[in-house]
Amino acid sequence: MIHLLFPQNITDWQTFGLFFLTLGTILAISEWLKKHLKFSDELSRKLIHVSVGALVWLYATQLQTPNVIIFISLLFTLINAIVLKFNLLPAMQADRTTYGTVLYPLAIAISAALFWQHNKTLFYIAVWVLAVADALAAGVGQSVKKPVPLRMWYDKKSVQGALTMWGATALIIYIAFTISGNYHNPLPLWLISCVAGALIAISELISKKGSDNLSVALMTLLLLDILIHDAATGVRFNWAFLVSAVSVSVIVKWGWLTVEGGIATVFTGTLLYGLGGWEWTLPIVVFFITSSLLSVAGRAYKQRFKEQFAKSSRRDAHQVFANGGMALIIMILYYYDPQPFYYFMFLASLAAANADTWATELGVFSPHEPRMITTLQSVEKGRSGAVSWTGLLAAMAGSALIALTGYLFLPMPAMIGYFILVAASGFLASLVDSLLGATLQAQFRTANGKWTEIPGKGHALQQGVSFVTNDVVNFIAILSASLMIGLFLIFK
């Protein structure tokens, strides 16, 4: 891989010089347009965005090796980081803080390193999706008079922009494979293009300060590499997307998920079933159904605790990824490295999520006041870091249910010890969650003296770290469950 990082001969260095000169000209023109024709920062940045993508594609069609593209992309990653740090080229900056100008060339370098020699068509598609589809989505989202807002993670997006991203990405995929002839799946190309385009568009929504420049490229490459060669996986992906989209639409209407939470669920569910089948999907379905039912159970009684909890029973995208994101990461690792211990790590992550949810939803019904896990002092119900016997028993049951669900797919007596470890890891992770909730999680006091997880006007931080939210605590606790069982199985 190291030999790909630098130009190898005089021709490569000449090409590098010409590329550098052309790119510098584009930047100079953008600065001139911004200064003399009053182009906005965002428009100037998008002009550079599209021009650079077209330039990369043009040079890539003439080059046999990726060395020049990788070298100049990494060089501009460094240059753009310096430019961003010291605001040297305003035309490259948006009206908001974003690292997109740094991650854009980095994404091109990674794409070239991984797929230039493996499948160059995929590299072309990733470049055009970054250069055109992403820019179109941003342009439409910012130009429509009444954008419908979407906030999946951090960056604010719009429904109109997301639909544009979907359509443009699907069209780019279809055109690229039609021209190259490098499509080997018996499923119709238009169908694969639409499903892949939808998932890539969702990955663009999961963004923080321009990180979509990297997530879009990686999702495009990895997803298409899987779909164009494996017919069985392609069929699973199509069914998973269709079924999850329809069922999630109903669930959103019921009020169990926000719109953003529904989109995140479609993304997670499609990838889990598409890559792994039922043995990787049913446990998370069991988690979602049981936790949602418990969330709405006794809703009238739970209303008295709404000031304490940062989240309602209607799950958003942050909650979906905090609870299911680790499971998805482990599934992807298993797909590329099919080691059995990954499945138990996967189950442990969901066991931890289920244990924590059951403990929270049922613990408030305890007849006694809970006790803080660090001091054992009685505290009010709903307080982060507090435990009760009702909540502890609920955590055990929730963790055991996920372990049992996994056992249905591997019903071998010799394996039962591993599933007991899954249940134990999930329960212990719920204690980790409580410990973090009592120490690091941000907790505030309202004007009327109540403790709450919700930051806001008049809410004074009493303990913890301001950015350590409930979702952060959940993710760390879930990670701990996966690591517990993973390390044990690897080193036993």
Using alpha carbons, list the distances in angstroms from residue 104 to 45, 337, 400.
Answer: 12, 28, 44
The residue ranking higher by pLDDT, 128 or 448, is 128
- For residues 87-97, average pLDDT: 57
Lowest model confidence (mean pLDDT) among 157-171, 262-276, 329-343, 446-460:
446-460
Q: Which residues contact 406 (CB under 8 A, 6 or more apart)?
A: 279, 283, 343, 344, 347, 419, 422
Pair of tokens at residue 229: 């060669």
Angle between helices 212-227 and 100-115 (to 10 degrees): 20
Closest CA to 114 of 175, 73, 54: 73
pLDDT value of residue 476? 94
Neighbouring-strand partners of residue 461:
444
- For residues 26-35, average pLDDT: 77
Lowest model confidence (mean pLDDT) among 122-126, 405-409, 483-487:
405-409
Using alpha carbons, list the distances in angstroms from residue 245 to 19, 145, 248, 250.
Answer: 44, 28, 5, 9
pLDDT value of residue 139? 85
pLDDT value of residue 95? 53
Domain residue limits, the chain: 2-229, 280-491
- Percent share of the chain, pLDDT over 90: 44
pLDDT value of residue 22? 85
Measure the CA–CA gap between 256 and 264, rounded to whole angstroms.
13
- For residues 327-335, average pLDDT: 93
Measure the CA–CA gap between 462 and 483, rounded to whole angstroms.
31
Place of tokens 């138990």: 344
- For residues 298-312, average pLDDT: 59
| Whether residue 303 has pLDDT greater than 70 | no
Closest CA to 391 of 372, 407, 406: 372
The residue ranking higher by pLDDT, 477 or 360, is 477
The residue ranking higher by pLDDT, 276 or 94, is 276
Tell me if 359 sits within 8 A of 430, measured CB to CB. Answer: yes
| Whether residue 435 has pLDDT greater than 90 | yes
pLDDT one-digit tens code per residue, 381-404: 777 888 999 999 999 999 999 999
pLDDT one-digit tens code per residue, 153-196: 788 889 999 999 999 999 999 999 999 988 888 889 999 999 99
| Whether residue 479 has pLDDT greater than 90 | yes
pLDDT value of residue 272? 94
**Given pLDDT bands bounded at 50, 70 and 90, which one contains residue 329?**
very high
- For residues 471-492, average pLDDT: 91
Place of tokens 């613990």: 363
Tell me if 167 sits within 8 A of 197, measured CB to CB. Answer: yes
Tally of residues, the chain: 492
Cβ neighbourhood burial of 189 (10 Å; 0-12, 13-18, 19+): middle
Pair of tokens at residue 419: 């599933």
